[in-house]
């Protein structure tokens, strides 16, 4: 593995088996990392192939090279995984909170010690630059640490009933086996944001990683498997079923009475479908869905800070983030200057493969993403928008689209009504605070909003009037493991992270006790 600076005798190892299925090629990964990535299913503590024997390819979006063939899970495999989670549940919920906490802390340490290995894996399958991949590993590990701390902080209540006589006893218990469906764009952070609170609460899990980026999940799952085994804890607590057909695997699970919880991150359209399927069993659900984040720049804003924040909010992971700034709403008085400064800054960003030195912006995840972004840009230009920088997909291999700034984008442009999910910043003007709020809130989504202003009163009003579950004031990054992550309206249900994150995997029980 990658050299670790601690003494060898003190450093934990990845303890990941060699691939169980043939690799189609692993050149984009350091050889020692590639040799330790499992590519099978994890069911009941054992790695193995799909029941069908089928596999699917995982490729590097920067080169289109195939990294590995991964086991293609079937409904039968998912049923076995849920069975393993169900069987492990009685023992797992009986494990002391402190012991669950220490497990998560140990996994946090191992992920941190192998930061470079995980970063290389994320860059290979997801495409993001190594610096961003390292930042994601840190962010993902932080959920392990945070929920290790929260595992011993369950809240309860004991008090006399207001009418007297009886006592009210309120406690929380784990909801039960949980299905975790994760997206491709942040393969470790979106997993640990769900997995850590589930385990901390006492819930076993079945993980369905994204088809495009399952490798990071598989590597992390092996660390958990080995830690569970080493501590003589039930290894069936963590199960992983990668698949090329999400609906074929998740559909039967959602109708199975053994499943008690669904957590999903992805598009609003898919989220609605899953909610309908979950209704049959009245499953407890968490939904982190799509966004259409406004980025407001008022006339009194610090434009240098606003541009810096815009680069973070727009270009992180090449704009492929549910919290990416989608619409830049800028006051008439500073719109031209802001757009010019942003275009100048974006022009300095280097597009390329994430492993290359000096690369700031990586590829999109697949060809149809490039086609979508290109179509939205062309539509805006046809409606009168001006291309200030970028605006095209470079020739050659890989799924790249040049970082782009568009000026004078009309308010009815298609890209302002949906998630762009690419490196395109459309700038639209507003003339008053009232118009800014009307434009910002004029969407079915409500995940996150950003605003730059020096006016404290205005800033406070924005925190009350913007229809978003998260708001960044004078900063372009809101994500934090210790804060509640989630949206309003069509952007989802529930919260991940913070104190609220563990409650999503618990149910409240009230007992009336007559003394």
Q: Domain 293-490: what homologous superfamily?
A: Aldehyde Dehydrogenase; Chain A, domain 2 (3.40.309.10)
Residue 155 confidence (pLDDT): 87
Q: What's the rounded Cα separation, in Å, for the pair 118 and 316? A: 18
How far apart, in whole angstroms, are the C-alpha atoms of residue 274 and residue 285?
Answer: 9
Q: What's the pTM value of the predicted model, to 2 decimals?
A: 0.93
Residue 23 has pLDDT above 70, yes or no: no
- Mean pLDDT computed over 16-43: 61
CA separation for the pair 154, 162 (Å, rounded): 24
**Rg (the chain; Cα; Å):** 23
Residue 319 CA to residue 361 CA, distance in Å, equals 9
Confidence grade of residue 6 (pLDDT, cut at 50, 70, 90):
very low
| Angle, helices 456-465/433-441, rounded to nearest 10 degrees | 30
Location of each CATH 3.40.605.10 domain in the chain: 23-289
Distance from C-alpha of 77 to C-alpha of 385, rounded to nearest angstrom: 50
With pLDDT > 70 as the criterion, what percentage of the chain qualifies? 93
Give the pLDDT band of residue 127 (cuts 50, 70, 90): very high
Domain with CATH 3.40.309.10 in the chain: 293-490
- E strands, 175-224, are 178-181, 205-208
Average pLDDT in the chain = 93
What mean pLDDT comes out for the span 333-347? Answer: 98
Give mean pLDDT, residues 317-341.
98
Question: 359-397 burial string, b = 16+ CB within 10 Å, else e?
Answer: bbbbbbbbeebbebbbebbeebeeeebebbbbbebeeee
CATH level 3 topology of 23-289: Aldehyde Dehydrogenase; Chain A, domain 1 (3.40.605)
Instruction: Find out whether 268 and 491 touch, Cβ atoms under 8 Å.
Output: yes
Mean pLDDT of 471-485: 97
Nearest to 376 by CA among 321, 435, 329, 417: 417
With cut-offs at 50, 70 and 90, classify the pLDDT of residue 368: very high
Average pLDDT over residues 52-80: 97
Quote the pLDDT of residue 5.
Answer: 28
Catalytic (active-site) positions: 288
**pLDDT given at position 25:** 37
């Amino acid at each position: 593995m990658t050299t670790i600076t601690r003494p060898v005798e003190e450093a934990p190892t990845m303890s990941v088996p060699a691939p169980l299925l043939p690799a189609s090629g692993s050149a984009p990964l350091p050889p020692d990392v590639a040799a330790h990535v499992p590519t099978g299913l994890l069911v009941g503590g054992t790695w193995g192939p799909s029941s069908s024997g089928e596999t699917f390819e995982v490729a590097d979006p920067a080169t289109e090279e195939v990294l590995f063939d991964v086991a293609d899970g079937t409904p039968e495999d998912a049923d076995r995984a849920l069975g393993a989670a169900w069987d492990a549940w009685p023992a797992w919920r009986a494990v002391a909170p402190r012991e669950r906490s220490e497990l998560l802390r140990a996994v946090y340490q191992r992920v941190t010690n192998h930061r470079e290995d995980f970063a290389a894996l994320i860059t290979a399958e997801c495409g993001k630059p190594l610096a961003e991949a390292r930042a994601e590993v840190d962010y993902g590990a932080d959920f392990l640490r945070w929920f290790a701390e929260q595992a011993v902080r369950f809240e309860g209540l004991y008090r006399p009933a207001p009418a007297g006589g009886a006592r009210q006893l309120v406690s929380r218990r784990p909801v039960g086996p949980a299905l975790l469906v994760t997206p491709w764009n942040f393969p470790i952070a979106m997993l640990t944001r769900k997995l850590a609170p589930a385990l901390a609460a006492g819930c076993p899990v079945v993980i369905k990683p994204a088809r495009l980026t399952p490798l990071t999940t598989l590597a992390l799952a092996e660390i958990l498997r080995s830690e569970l085994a080493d501590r003589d804890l039930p290894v069936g607590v963590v199960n992983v079923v990668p698949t090329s057909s999400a609906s074929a695997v998740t559909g039967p699970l959602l109708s199975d009475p053994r499943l008690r919880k669904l957590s999903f991150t992805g598009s609003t359209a898919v989220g609605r479908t899953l909610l309908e399927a979950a209704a049959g069993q009245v499953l407890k659900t968490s939904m982190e869905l799509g966004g259409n984040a406004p980025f407001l720049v008022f006339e009194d804003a610090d434009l240098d800070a606003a541009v810096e924040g815009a680069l973070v909010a727009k270009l992180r992971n090449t704009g492929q983030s549910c919290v990416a700034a989608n619409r830049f709403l800028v006051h008439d008085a500073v719109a031209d200057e802001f757009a010019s400064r942003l275009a100048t800054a974006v022009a300095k960003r280097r597009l390329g493969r994430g492993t290359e030195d000096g690369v700031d912006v990586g590829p999109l995840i697949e060809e149809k993403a490039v086609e979508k972004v290109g179509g939205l840009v062309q539509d805006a230009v046809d409606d009168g928008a001006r291309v200030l920088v970028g605006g095209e997909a470079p020739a050659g291999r890989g799924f790249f689209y040049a970082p782009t700034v568009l000026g004078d984008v009309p308010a009815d442009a298609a890209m302002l009504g949906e998630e762009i999910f690419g490196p395109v910043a459309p700038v639209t003007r507003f003339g008053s605070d009232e118009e800014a709020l009307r434009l910002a809130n004029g969407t079915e989504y409500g995940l996150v909003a950003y605003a730059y202003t020096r006016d404290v009163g205005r800033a406070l009003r924005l925190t009350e009037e913007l229809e978003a579950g998260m708001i960044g004031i004078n900063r372009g990054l809101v994500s934090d493991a210790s804060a509640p992550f989630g949206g309003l309206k069509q952007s989802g249900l529930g919260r991940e992270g913070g104190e609220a994150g563990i409650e999503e995997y618990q149910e409240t029980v009230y007992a009336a006790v007559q003394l």
